[in-house]
Amino acid sequence: MGVGIGMPGFIDFQKGINYTFLEIKDQTIIEYLTEEIKLPVYIDNDSSLIALAELRFGSVHHKKNVMVINIGWGVGLGLILNGELFRGHNGFAGEFSHIPIFDNNKLCECGKTGCLETETSLLVLIEKAAAGLKEGRLSSLPSNFPSDYYEQDYEAIIAAALKGDQFVVELFSESGYNIGRGIAILIHLLNPELIVLSGRGAAAGKIWEAPIQNAINKHCIPRLSSNTKIKVSTLGHDAELIGASVLVMENIEKNNTVIKNKTV
């Protein structure tokens, strides 16, 4: 029926342009892929698609105002406002990773320093774990860590955390607290009823909840934070794939409605 694609970067989902990756001369990504595979193609930001999946099939179903945190190679955000996915004017809403929250002089991939993701992404967790092992920290992480294969290394970190590895749990706690500092800002701005932790990192489960809640308790006005709940996604790593499928179905439904109305 069609192809849905989730991508990182600044994406204008209506025009089919990713301003961060994959520039194609004289064509949009949608035009190029549609021509090649002979099917309708739709693209959107990965965090927006994860939020879309949570809205249709996950923890956000029947909720009105929710923030879906995509814990992955960056730390993305999908916004559900008034029961609908909110993309902003050009589709760029939710660049949570790039809130300038730290005075750490660490260069972010966006070109700025001190962004949230410079202390919280799964890539940073891998780097900090590797540095700790070099310093002699005891851990159940495999002897070949880091393997230089990010997927393999993140799975090893998740597995160690779920086994209760003290060193790795400390890393998750530090990262979770810093994510919570960012979430505290969002709570003050948007007053959500629910925060869903989703994406790759959600596989660590409840390990995230306590440090994030700790940061919210410390940095939020209680009147705001007391009505906001935190929940770990049940969709996990599949959320983006599910969201990409929903994107196709919604566009096909919308196009069929337009055709039907024109016919009538």
Name the residue among 71, 53, 88 with its Cα closest to residue 235.
Answer: 53
DSSP track, 164-179: T-HHHHHHHHHHHHHH
Q: Is residue 30 part of a domain?
A: yes
Report the C-alpha gap between 111 and 101 in whole angstroms. Answer: 15
Report the C-alpha gap between 259 and 207 in whole angstroms. Answer: 49
Cβ neighbours of 89 (radius 10 Å): 7
In this prediction the pTM is: 0.89
Contacts of 16 (CB under 8 A, 6+ apart): 28, 29, 30, 31, 41, 42, 43
| Residue 55 C-alpha from the chain's centroid | 14
Q: Is residue 62 part of a domain?
A: yes
Give residue-wise pLDDT tens across range 175-202: 999 999 999 999 999 999 999 999 989 9
For residue 229, the SS3 value is strand
Identify the pLDDT of residue 264: 55
110 confidence band (pLDDT: 50, 70, 90): confident
Write out 54-80 in H/E/C secondary structure.
Answer: HHHHCCCCCCCCEEEEEECCCEEEEEE
Domain containing residue 102 = 3-255
Which of residues 9 and 41 earns the better pLDDT score? 41
Report the C-alpha gap between 162 and 141 in whole angstroms. Answer: 12
Residue 79 DSSP label = E
Report the C-alpha gap between 98 and 107 in whole angstroms. Answer: 11
Q: Is residue 263 part of a domain?
A: no
**Domains of the chain: total:** 1
Q: Is residue 205 part of a domain?
A: yes
Q: Is residue 264 part of a domain?
A: no
Q: Is residue 197 part of a domain?
A: yes
Give residue-wise pLDDT tens across range 79-95: 999 999 999 888 888 88
For residue 9, give both structure tokens: 């970067």
| 125-133: average pLDDT | 95
Specify the amino acid at residue 243.
G
Q: Is residue 224 part of a domain?
A: yes
| Average pLDDT in the chain | 90
Cβ neighbours of 51 (radius 10 Å): 32
Instruction: Tell me if 49 sits within 8 A of 94, measured CB to CB.
Output: no
Report the C-alpha gap between 61 and 183 in whole angstroms. Answer: 21
For residue 200, give both structure tokens: 């790759």
Identify the pLDDT of residue 157: 94
Report the C-alpha gap between 259 and 247 in whole angstroms. Answer: 18
Instruction: Tell me if 203 sits within 8 A of 161, measured CB to CB.
Output: no
Phi, psi of 225 (to 5 degrees): -75, -25
Q: What is the CATH number of the domain that holds 124?
A: 3.30.420.40
